[in-house]
Structure 1
Amino acid sequence: MKRIPIVPTLIVLLAVAYMVHLGLWQLDRLGQKDAMLARYQAAQSSGSEVPFLIPPMLAEMNYYHRSRLDCDIVLSMTTLSGRNAKGEAGLAHSAQCQTPEGSTATVVLGWSRDPSTPVWKGGRVTGWIAPGPRLVADPPVAGLDANARPDPRDIPNNHLAYAVQWFLFAGVALVIYALALRKRMRGS
């Protein structure tokens, strides 16, 4: 009778343990993401205004709150695909602004079907802080229509699916290795 190979068995068991660890980590992330999305929903519902903070680590805490900023200098303008408040596809017009403090911020000015760059010289903008961070103007500026309001429900929370995937990988690895061992023990 043949013996079970020690090194390959250890390698498979370590790989399976790591896959299980990744599955557990995804379950932990599921709880964290649920809490983050609940915080974003509460922020959006509160309607309270907060400062627009530029560093991403600070800005994340204020996502989906109302805010305002002063755009002293329009550094550049861009146009990307976007949706309006009615859900229609079109173009979201954005400006890269320099604030009075000298930092830069992105402002989504509004929506249109017209690809030409709107004329906007800057000024005070109020709106919603969205991931990026960027300020989505509400009301829109530069004669544009309203963009779709940033919605935390658009953020996927698929950590449960990832956890199940890692657990399945671990199970499949064990089954395949067990079949290989069985074949080896039979001497085929």
Structure 2
Amino acid sequence: MPEASAPSGVLRRLPLVPTLIVLLAVAAMIGLGIWQLQRLKQKDAAVAAYQANMARPSAAYPANPVDDAYLFRVLTGNCLRVVSWQVQGGKNANGQAGWRHIANCATGAEGPGMVVDMGVSTTPDAKVEWKGGIVRGIATHEPDESGFVERISGKAMPLRLMIVSEKAAPGLTPSQPPEPTSVPNNHLAYAVQWFLFAGVALIVYGVAVRKRLKDTTPPPA
């Protein structure tokens, strides 16, 4: 009978609070891994929709400029005037590194207006004389300037759609067109990472508990 009672005796000697904390942490990590697998399916479906958008006919820049249903679709719009310019690192259509010149445009309607990538220069201080006009190109997101804390807390503003113009402004070269394959999809790697964390936590805790029980076990009489 001593052999049958040994497991229950070990369980009684386990430290209650640390064990509960470790089990809760492991459960949370497994939950995060499962959530990442769900996100993987959602991202795969989204990328498939984006690829289908590239074959759809062109559409007007939407009244709701944060509608992701238009991502990677050819959009057209009328920039009545350039309100401001933004300069970001990027590549031209030949893959050469440079500086993208992004125009924030007024469209005549209330709201955030329209964002257009008008091309790439070799220096960030290049003068762009473009004042506005009809633009056409594939839609992607505008550059994300929100901070890390804003992103993880969900307080970041939704990104607007940006047209990457097929025709560059005078003095610039066309920017590299966006591709759905460029959309990050690391959810499988993140899921595996969380599952590994859970496994390592259990192993480390098991080794620590085994050592503690061994050290506290009285020697046989």
Q: Please tell me whether residue 42 in structure 1 is matched to residue 70 in structure 2.
A: no
Question: Alignment partner for residue 23 of structure 1, among 3, 24, 33?
Answer: 33
**Compared CA separation, residues 54 and 142, structure 1 to 2 (3 A):** farther
CA contact (8 A) 1:140 1:146 kept: yes
Runs (4+) off by over 6 Å: none
What is the DSSP-based 3-state SS (H/G/I as helix, E as strand, rest coil) of the residue aligned with 1:161?
helix
The two structures, once aligned, show a CA RMSD in angstroms of 1.7
Q: Please tell me whether residue 106 in structure 1 is matched to residue 115 in structure 2.
A: yes
| Largest Rg, 1 or 2 | 2
What is the DSSP-based 3-state SS (H/G/I as helix, E as strand, rest coil) of the residue aligned with 2:164?
strand
Match of 2:27, as an amino acid? A
**1:77 aligned partner:** 85
Distance in 2 between the 1:57 and 1:95 partners? 17
Q: Please tell me whether residue 168 in structure 1 is matched to residue 179 in structure 2.
A: no
Distance in 2 between the 1:144 and 1:8 partners? 62
Distance in 2 between the 1:36 and 1:79 partners? 29
Q: TM-score, normalised by structure 2?
A: 0.78
**Compared CA separation, residues 66 and 159, structure 1 to 2 (3 A):** same
* Total equivalences in the alignment: 186
Offset at 1:150? Answer: 0.8
Distance in 2 between the 1:117 and 1:53 partners? 29
**1:53 aligned partner:** 62
Residues 105-114 or 156-165, more deviating: 105-114
What is the DSSP-based 3-state SS (H/G/I as helix, E as strand, rest coil) of the residue aligned with 1:187?
helix
**2:138 aligned partner:** 128
**1:117 aligned partner:** 127
Match of 2:44, as an amino acid? D
TM-superposition CA deviations, 1:3-49 (whole Å, max 9, x none): 112222111111101100000000111111111111111112x1411
Offset at 1:101? Answer: 1.1
What is the DSSP-based 3-state SS (H/G/I as helix, E as strand, rest coil) of the residue aligned with 2:95?
coil
**Compared CA separation, residues 111 and 47, structure 1 to 2 (3 A):** farther
Q: Please tell me whether residue 68 in structure 1 is matched to residue 96 in structure 2.
A: no
TM-superposition CA deviations, 1:117-176 (whole Å, max 9, x none): 210111111111111221111122334221110111112211111001000100011011
Identity of aligned residues (%): 44
Distance in 1 between the 2:85 and 2:127 partners? 7
Match of 1:174, as an amino acid? L
What is the DSSP-based 3-state SS (H/G/I as helix, E as strand, rest coil) of the residue aligned with 2:60?
coil
